[in-house]
Amino acid sequence: MEQEKEYNEQEETHNEQPQQPYVKSNKPVLGITAGDINGIGLEVILKALSHRKILDICVPVIYGSSKVVSYHKNIVQLDDFNFVGQRNAERLAHDKVNVVNVWNDNVNITLGKPTDLGGKFAQQSLEAATKDLKLGLIDAIVTAPIHKKSMQMAGFEHIGHTEYITKEFNATDSLMLLAADRLRVGLVTAHVPLKDVSKAITKERIIAKLRIFSEALRLDFAIGRPNIAVLGLNPHAGEEGMLGDEEEKIIRPAIMECKKNGMMAFGPFPADGFFGSGQYNKFDGVLAMYHDQGLIPFKALTFGSGVNYTAGLSIIRTSPDHGTAFDLAGKNEADPSSFLHAMFMAIDIYRNRKEHYELKKNAVRRVEVEMEKEEGGAVMSD
């Protein structure tokens, strides 16, 4: 049933935190976008943030509106859930959930309905979090679901989060990567109509995606020498050319070139048998040719614990593996598991990168020290 509410200055709100002397937390600061305020985004956010360990391992920052958060809090019935409103992310509470007030407009919330206002506020939330990520005020971003049509109605010029964030951080390419436990599925083509998939698949594109995938597994997931399975495009992986020749002309040559460059890539495998037989368990990652080829088996095997990760960027962005679920909005029935896993993954990747760069820095310093010793010894001998 449609629920609608307009907020005004008399509605419940939370006083903004007064500015205090600030010391950056040693916990990662997670920026969390509100997503579509008419969907389940804020419901799963609040449920995930009510997890008893969250504040021990990160500093959460919701980009949205204290009044809208309060509205969804009442739906979820989290009486003991507290947050503090902030004007910006420059001064944050380390031991509380922070809400950066991105907008102060009176808001019509129409639960379960896509609207241009839902798209407008989702875009404002995303843009504000992205800006703070660029400034280094937050360490990673976890995005709640958006409704693509609503975003389009609001003037959003991108297909989705992945494309927007890739452009904002000036990356030439990125990889849509779905991950849960040991199953990680990357996509050669993501939000591409099925009729356009075949012509979008090139040898160069597959090689580029495999490079991003391999580096992400090594750096972000701390897998020393990852092995990646590559799926075919056609039924039975083309059946030696009888059901299509993309495997022989494009996919296999791309795999062979990657192998020559030291990458552990294998295939192409027929997608149905590969997942049906459990063969995916033998690999650190699986590269699918198109959206549904990878996401249907992934969600069938992991729904509720899967995470969407944008690999190949200098920054960290994760999101749950589900959409706005308008049919569940306002019913207090949405499962927060995927959003919680998205937060945990962002924290893990932050830690893995930090450890990697610290080890690299220490290794460089050790080499410099040894060179200084050798040079000093040479001078003394003269």
User: Where does the pLDDT of residue 372 fall: very low under 50, low under 70, confident under 90, or very high at 90 and above?
Assistant: low
CB atoms within 10 A of CB 266: 15
| E strands in 251-365 | 264-269, 285-288, 307-311, 317-320
Q: 243 or 63: which carries more pLDDT confidence?
A: 63
Kindly state the average pLDDT of the residues 350-377: 73
High-pLDDT (> 70) share of the chain, %: 88
Same fold flag, 1-171+313-382 and 180-305: yes
pLDDT confidence band for 10 (50 / 70 / 90): very low
Residues 311/186, Cβ–Cβ less than 8 Å = yes
Identify the pLDDT of residue 366: 64
pLDDT single digits (tens) 102-156: 998 888 899 999 999 999 999 999 999 999 999 999 999 999 999 999 999 889 9
Residue 91 near residue 20 (C-beta atoms within 8 A): yes
Whole-angstrom Cα distance, residue 101 to residue 37?
Answer: 14
Structure tokens at 179: 């991950």
Measured CA distances, 68 to 5, 63, 111, 240 (Å): 10, 11, 12, 57
Please report, for residues 102, 110, 114, 143, the alpha-carbon distance to residue 107 in angstroms, rounded to integers and kept in the order given. 13, 9, 14, 21
- Name the β-bridge partners of 97: 83
CATH number 3.40.718.10 is the correct assignment for the domain at 180-305: yes
Above pLDDT 90, what percent of the chain? 76
CA torsion sign for 115, 116, 121, 127 is: positive
203: burial class by Cβ within 10 Å (0-12, 13-18, 19+)?
middle
Q: Which of 234, 215, 236, 237 has the alpha carbon at shortest distance from 226?
A: 215
Average pLDDT over residues 310-337: 95
pLDDT tens, 41-82?
999 999 999 988 899 999 999 999 999 999 999 999 887 889
| Nearest residue to 230 (alpha-carbon basis) of 277, 271, 281, 177 | 271
Distance between CA atoms of residues 311 and 147, nearest Å: 22
- Structural domain boundaries of the chain? 1-171+313-382, 180-305
Beta carbons within 8 Å of 360's beta carbon, 6+ residues apart: none
Class of domain 1-171+313-382 (CATH, top level): alpha beta
Which of left, alpha, beta for 106 (phi over 0: left; psi -120 to 50: alpha)?
Answer: beta
Helix ranges, 236-336 (H): 246, 252-260, 271-276, 291-302
- This prediction has a pTM of 0.86
- Do 311 and 134 form a contact (C-beta atoms < 8 A)? no
